[in-house]
Amino acid sequence: MPITELNHYLLVAKNLERTKRFYQTVLGLRLASERPDFGFPGYWLKAGGNICVHLASQAPNRIRDQFLLKKHPKGTRGSGSVDHIAFLAKKPEAVRKRIQKHRIEMHYRSFPESKLFQIFLKDPDDVTIELNFLGETIDPAAWAGKGSASAVTLSKSRGKRTAAAREN
């Protein structure tokens, strides 16, 4: 079965630090140290050893807006501040073909250094879905034209913080 489990949701928080404290102190989630440098500030939070909440900030950030599929204006509240819901998945080629068959636009995100490949897509109510293929190092350029609306590779530039995303 290509899409295997629910993994996390991403919340674009009005106040990143206060939101982190809420999830830590009220819900008892633990801060994960292994969050890659996405080029925008945020936190990963774990329950029972698994990452289940990804926090980002509403503070304007170009890389965040480029990476996610929409802009996040300051002042968003309620479930509108949930950006996307993420699943774990396997067999990227089969999943891509299935989605493409239904003529649904996809956005590819690749993290070669973390061996992570992602497909972003929208459901019929315009909710963003993220599919995570762990251990996969697909070059999004190789999939150009195969249902791809945008393809971004994030890689570290000479050991410094991620400066910008490279669009294929």
127 touches other proteins by CB under 8 A: yes
Q: Which of 32, 63, 85, 165 binds other proteins (CB under 8 A)?
A: 85
Beta-carbon contacts of residue 85 (< 8 Å; ≥ 6 apart): 6, 8, 9, 127, 128, 129, 130
What letter represents residue 136's amino acid? E
- In whole angstroms, the minimum distance from the beta carbon of 167 to other proteins comes to 24
What is residue 149's three-state secondary structure? strand
Report phi then psi at 65, rounded to 5.
-65, -30
Report phi then psi at 126, rounded to 5.
70, 25
Judged by CB under 8 A, the stretch of 28-36, 108-116, 132-140, 156-164 that binds other proteins is 28-36
129 touches other proteins by CB under 8 A: yes
Q: Which of 32, 63, 66, 87 binds other proteins (CB under 8 A)?
A: 87
126 touches other proteins by CB under 8 A: yes
Binding mask 95-124 for other proteins (x = CB under 8 A): ---xx--x-x----------------x-xx
Q: Please, which residue, 30 or 156, has the CB nearer to other proteins?
A: 30
Interatomic CA distance for residues 66 and 77, integer angstroms: 21
Q: Indicate the pairing of strand 106-111 with strand 148-153.
A: parallel
Q: Which of 31, 36, 50, 146 binds other proteins (CB under 8 A)?
A: 50
Residue 91 exposed, middle or buried by CB count within 10 Å (0-12, 13-18, 19+): middle
- Binding interface with other proteins (CB under 8 A): 1-9, 11, 13-15, 18-19, 22-23, 25-30, 47-48, 50, 52-53, 70, 77-85, 87, 98-99, 102, 104, 121, 123-129
